[in-house]
Amino acid sequence: MEISALHQKLDVVTAVILGPEDDFSSLEQAVMDLKELFMEASRLNPEAQINKENLLLNTGVAIGPKWAGMCVDDVKRTKRFISGLDKAIQEVRSSKTKGPVHIMYTGTGPFATLVWPLLSKYTPEELQLVLLEVNTVSISSLKHLIKAFNAYDYIKEIYHCDASNFEYTSFNEDIDIVLIECLQHALMREPQVAITYNLLPQLRKDVILIPEEISLNVSLIDMDKKGEYEETGNEEYSDFLEEVDCVFRLDKQTVAGRSALNRQEVFNFDRREVVLEEDKLDRNDLLAITTDIKIFKDEQLHTYDSGLTAPLILADLNNAQKMKGVQTQYIVSNQPGIVSSIIR
């Protein structure tokens, strides 16, 4: 496809993605069209074995290009991250007197999905990208994408690196927004936490972090109410989920508060004990870790909105023995995530 045709298609899908979310079928189609555009321009062959292989890092799993590309399919995730990034760009531009907005995008995958549609809205004089990706095949696909769209002028730098230990020394003071999207639900498996703790201290204090905040909560879920709410939309059943307590938070303030610690200490997160009232346990069906993601301002993902916010089930309360609460701790390792134990 010619460059002009690629840009025309990108213009169309971007307009829908940045538009209202009320027409979900149109939004879903736009996201499908965006993925089709990516597949053609990047030359990614999802069935090639090399594109299915994950990389095992010291701080988590870097998923293979096929799986990274499939993240586009999560419609609300794609829409809200792109919309949130767009709002962050607008905020920086409103206060910046000169020069482009500089974005560091970590974990681009093969498509740089969360920023690429915005190339149809901003010029290279308005937007510059520093791209970080650990997978060699993803970088190759990304370079095909850049060539197909003739987007070279947008690219300040591309680094093939593990962002959890990458030392950035080139344009630290230029970065206005750092976008890190290396995560799964409950911050499991992928190195989002390690990357955030590594990169943020290297950048300006006023840098915008996207997502702004990720919180993990011990929650109780009433499945009967959930079913009624999803079937009828009756607000009477909208309280099917109760967030009892936040047990882990990832945001700028938390990272800054631990910045004086050495690398071993910084990842020694506190154990959290949450007491659960007996009557609440009796009324609900599931004990879970739920995820809330504040991407930027009002662009957010809540429980069940996305694969990123699917609950991590800790116990089926209908079959479990009596309990008093749960103890949790977030662990950074080659298999990061929440570890938990039931308090009897």
* 269-296 pLDDT tens trace: 999 999 999 999 999 999 999 999 999 9
Looking at the structure, tell me whether residues 43 and 183 fall in a common domain.
yes
Section 296-310 average pLDDT: 97
Sign of CA dihedral 198, 204, 209, 215: positive
Looking at the structure, tell me whether residues 91 and 149 fall in a common domain.
yes
- 253-275-340 Cα angle (round to 5): 70
Give the position of tokens 């292989």. 53
Which of 159, 177, 212 terminates a domain? The answer is 212
pLDDT at position 140 over 90: yes
Give the position of tokens 């999802």. 46
Which of 184, 212, 240 terminates a domain? The answer is 212
Question: Which amino acid, 335?
Answer: Q
Tokens of 16: 């829908």
Contact 107, 181 (CB under 8 A): yes
Predicted pLDDT of residue 227: 93
Q: What are 6-21's pLDDT values in tens digits?
A: 999 999 999 999 999 9
- Beta strands 272-275 and 325-331 are antiparallel
pLDDT at position 121 over 90: yes
- Beta strands 286-296 and 312-316 are antiparallel
Looking at the structure, tell me whether residues 185 and 311 fall in a common domain.
no
Contact 341, 327 (CB under 8 A): yes
DSSP 269-295: PPPEEEE--HHHHHH-SEEEEEEEEEE
Predicted pLDDT of residue 174: 94
**204 — pLDDT class (breaks 50, 70, 90):** very high
Predicted pLDDT of residue 14: 97
Looking at the structure, tell me whether residues 208 and 248 fall in a common domain.
no
Residues sharing a CB contact under 8 Å with residue 163, sequence separation 6 or more, in sequence order? 106, 107, 132, 134, 180, 182, 191, 195, 198, 199
Find the domain containing 263 and state its range.
215-343
Does residue 264 or residue 41 have the better pLDDT? 41
Return the percentage of the chain with pLDDT > 70, whole number: 100
Looking at the structure, tell me whether residues 20 and 155 fall in a common domain.
yes
Looking at the structure, tell me whether residues 194 and 221 fall in a common domain.
no
pLDDT at position 203 over 80: yes
Q: What are 27-51's pLDDT values in tens digits?
A: 999 999 999 999 999 998 888 899 8
Looking at the structure, tell me whether residues 174 and 278 fall in a common domain.
no
Tokens of 117: 């549609």
Looking at the structure, tell me whether residues 183 and 47 fall in a common domain.
yes
Tokens of 340: 């938990």
Predicted pLDDT of residue 263: 75
pLDDT at position 322 over 90: no
**215 — pLDDT class (breaks 50, 70, 90):** very high
- What pTM value is reported for the model? 0.95
Give the position of tokens 């307009």. 15
How many domains would you assign to the chain? 2
Predicted pLDDT of residue 45: 87
pLDDT at position 4 over 90: no
DSSP letter assigned to residue 113:
T
Tokens of 220: 């109780």
Which of 190, 212, 234 terminates a domain? The answer is 212
**2 — pLDDT class (breaks 50, 70, 90):** confident
Sign of CA dihedral 162, 166, 170, 175: positive
CA distance 177 to 172: 11
Residues recorded for the chain: 344
Cα torsion through 201, 206, 207, 211, rounded to 10: 90
Locate all alpha helices (DSSP H) within 149-203, ordered by sequence: 192-199
CA distance 47 to 27: 26
pLDDT at position 264 over 90: no
Section 108-123 average pLDDT: 97
Residues sharing a CB contact under 8 Å with residue 38, sequence separation 6 or more, in sequence order? 44, 69, 72, 110, 111, 113, 116, 145
**236 — pLDDT class (breaks 50, 70, 90):** confident
Q: What is the mean pLDDT of the chain?
A: 94
**237 — pLDDT class (breaks 50, 70, 90):** confident
Predicted pLDDT of residue 319: 84
